[in-house]
Amino acid sequence: MSDHEHLKQLTRELFRNALLRANKPLWLNRADEHESFTLELNAKQLICAALAVSVLNELVHGGGLAVSPAITRSVMRQVAQLLPRATKREIQVETAGILDWLSGALALLPADDEPWPTWHETEADLEQHLATIRRAMDEKLDLEIHYYSHWRREMTIRRVTPIKLDAARYLQAYCHLRDDERVFRLSRIHEVALAAPSEEPGTPAS
């Protein structure tokens, strides 16, 4: 058995045991080779595990960990099936906060690296960005943002559909580049503008 299959098997057993201990309904779907689990309520007992896997997934994409991204993505998909959308969004925000804390408190950056840029020179810059984001949300428009991804060490141009502002620090949005919901730290948004309806999703900046 490969390491990937072994991890998936262990994950399924952990989920099964957690659900049984919590006295939650458990259904097994044997339409394929893998078991799938459905939780009737909000799966609170899985939130901590989901948060840990989410953080690990981001760290793996940043490099330096001996874990295959395919493994973390596989576990993430299994966890996501068990959680409601609102809970997954909360986990994304918590993940972003934990990564920020790790970078500062544990000094994860190499000694010769500079910390990631903070693009807002003044509060006025931040307020201007917030005003644009709020307008897009009110008018149900997409945004184009220039976003610095610290873990990938690159500036990207992305088309996003804003969903929610969280404490004026994070933007929850659907990212057309990644084809998934993402959380963006406002201090890493260099530019933000309303996207024209005919524009294509953003591509990595050259």
- Return the CATH number of 123-194, one of 2.30.30.100, 3.40.640.10, 2.60.120.10, 2.140.10.10: 2.30.30.100
pLDDT by residue for the chain (206 residues), tens only, comes to 555 455 555 555 555 555 555 454 444 443 333 444 444 434 555 677 677 767 766 665 554 444 566 666 777 777 777 777 777 777 777 777 777 666 554 444 443 344 445 555 566 688 899 999 999 999 999 999 998 876 666 788 999 999 988 866 788 899 898 788 888 888 888 899 999 875 554 444 43
Q: Which two tokens stand for residue 59?
A: 């760290």
Q: What is the pLDDT of residue 60?
A: 57
Model confidence pLDDT, tens digit, residues 154-182: 788 999 999 988 866 788 899 898 788 88
Closest CA to 115 of 126, 128, 100, 132: 100
Q: What is the pLDDT of residue 39?
A: 40
- Domain segments of the chain: what residues? 3-105, 123-194
Model confidence pLDDT, tens digit, residues 69-82: 666 677 777 777 77
